[in-house]
Amino acid sequence: MRERNAESAEGAELNQLEGALAKKEHSLQALYCQLGKSVLELADGEKEKIDILVDDIIETRKKLVAIRQEIECPECMTYNPNDSRYCRRCGTPIK
C-alpha cells in the first residue's frame, strides 16, 4: 500500500513538473515570437536605407573594377587583376 501511495505521489509530482515545464516553454516561445516581430519591424524601417547603401556599394565596386581593369572569376565571382591566369580566391583558371 505504501508503495502505491509513493508511486501515486511520484506520478502527481511528475505531472505537475511536466505541466509547469510546458507553461514555461510556452512563455519562452511567446517571448521569442514577440522579439522576432520587433526585429522585423525595425528591419522594415531601415530596409530602404540599406537598399540604397547596397546599391551605392555595388556601383562603386563596378567603377573600381572598370578602372583597375579587373576580371571576374566565373566560379566564385571574385575580381582578379586582368593578367591573372587563376583566381586568387578559389584557383579556378581564368580566360
Indicate the domain borders of the chain.
2-69
What Cα–Cα distance (Å) separates residue 29 from each residue in 8, 20, 38, 82?
Answer: 31, 14, 14, 53
User: Is this model's pTM higher than 0.75 or not?
Assistant: no
Structural contact between residues 86 and 92, judged by C-beta atoms closer than 8 angstroms: yes
Residue 8 is predicted with a pLDDT of 81
Residue 2 is predicted with a pLDDT of 62
Residue 10 is predicted with a pLDDT of 84
Residue 77 is predicted with a pLDDT of 92
Residue 59 is predicted with a pLDDT of 96
**Which residues, given as ranges, of the chain have pLDDT below 70?**
1-6
* Residues 36, 44: Cα–Cα separation, whole Å: 12
